[in-house]
Structure 1
């Protein structure tokens, strides 16, 4: 029975079924809590995780931030052309991004700031007001470069589950920019070399053999020892 003694409009299907109440307006639009849907999800992709899943532990960096001499090629590239080294690092981490795009952004922030400061000093001379403008422009460009490259370092740490440094990734690039670029290049270079697939071996099938009446009669007359000596050779070629 509904409230107020009004008879329900629903018909009972069985005798044992109790009286049904009328559905109130908006009652069907209420959210339903399903306990089975309360599962852990990945912070990166949002996929549900199994109950037995345990997040991987943070791994240390394979090389220190001051180990630039361990890879002389990246050391010289980072010292002379840091924009090129940064572009290669981004391309190795994100295959859909060409190295030229981050290289140009890095060149605008760092190399462009140095060029602007040199041009200002050349055309306006060195005086207190000009020096203040030069320092302000350099600090702004360096700060923007630290934020841009620090976001890339943070993505690298998340991908390989690397331990966070005592300082923020942006602060690391602002204080030790060239050393951080070389460390990131060595880290990806070492991890990508571990994922190289070992060379495979290709086995070529034997050539197709045809049999005619003449060869059949010749095989019948040949001794059994000669037949047993014949074998099929396999050609193996390393890929």
Structure 2
């Protein structure tokens, strides 16, 4: 028996050797099991450099987020997205967020007592819906930041964070960008993954001949 060659005996339901006349029919194919490729776990998200309620660590962003959140939001967008200035997102934030807050404050201050209860309820529902939609739009910056630096979704989804802690969220995002840029980590981090080993089949080792 030659090295690396296996012989398989034909079964009763298989054709006898005398009836096999075509070239190549004397060889029987066998299934060679292939090992499954190695699976690599998904990379875990990196923690944020500061917590969402640690606004006092950066006095500049804290004061700007308190008195001019539209400007801070515009700067965050300009740093996260390429070919984008801070003016357009600043105007968007001023109209939808600050404008919505001013309208809600005016409604709670005096309009509620003047309008009918049904009308007041409809206006309140519209204000709440507008606030949730603004949180959905402003959370795209946080999503881009988490995807760019592989940050963990903490404490929850970006849309929920901006809906219930919007001012703290934009301050945290500004601190994160400031820390990343100061550390020279502006580029997307690269994760090196080893490819699975190449499976090679040697014809001399898998050749099977019929008796």
Measured against the shorter chain, the TM-score band is: 0.5 to 0.7
CA distance in 2, matches of 1:122, 1:55: 53
1:150-190 deviation per Cα after TM superposition (whole angstroms, max 9, x unaligned): 12111100000001124211001111111111100000000
User: Alpha-carbon deviation of 1:95?
Assistant: 3.1
Corresponding residue for residue 57 of structure 2: 70
RMSD: 3.1
CA distance in 1, matches of 2:92, 2:67: 17
Q: Structure 1 residue 60 and structure 2 residue 47: aligned?
A: yes
Count of residue pairs the alignment pairs up: 150
User: Alpha-carbon deviation of 1:61?
Assistant: 0.3
Corresponding residue for residue 148 of structure 2: 159
Name stretches of at least 5 consecutive residues in structure 2 with no aligned partner: 1-22, 24-37, 186-211
Larger radius of gyration: 1
Corresponding residue for residue 86 of structure 1: 73
SS in 1 for 2:100: helix
Which of 177, 180, 186 aligns to 1:188? It is: 177
CA distance in 1, matches of 2:169, 2:163: 9
Q: Structure 1 residue 132 and structure 2 residue 121: aligned?
A: yes
CA distance in 1, matches of 2:102, 2:165: 21
User: Alpha-carbon deviation of 1:57?
Assistant: 4.0
- Cα distance change, pair 136–96 in 1 and its aligned pair in 2 (3 A): same
> Which 4+ residue blocks in structure 1 deviate beyond 6 angstroms?
none
CA distance in 2, matches of 1:137, 1:101: 24
User: Alpha-carbon deviation of 1:112?
Assistant: 2.0
Q: Structure 1 residue 176 and structure 2 residue 165: aligned?
A: yes
User: Alpha-carbon deviation of 1:124?
Assistant: 8.4
How high is the TM-score relative to the length of structure 2? 0.61
Name stretches of at least 5 consecutive residues in structure 1 with no aligned partner: 1-17, 19-50, 197-239
CA distance in 2, matches of 1:105, 1:125: 30
Q: Structure 1 residue 113 and structure 2 residue 100: aligned?
A: yes
SS in 2 for 1:139: helix
User: Alpha-carbon deviation of 1:138?
Assistant: 1.9
User: Alpha-carbon deviation of 1:137?
Assistant: 2.8
Which of 135, 143, 155 aligns to 1:146? It is: 135
How high is the TM-score relative to the length of structure 1? 0.54
Corresponding residue for residue 43 of structure 1: none
Which of 88, 91, 101 aligns to 2:88? It is: 101
CA distance in 1, matches of 2:155, 2:57: 23
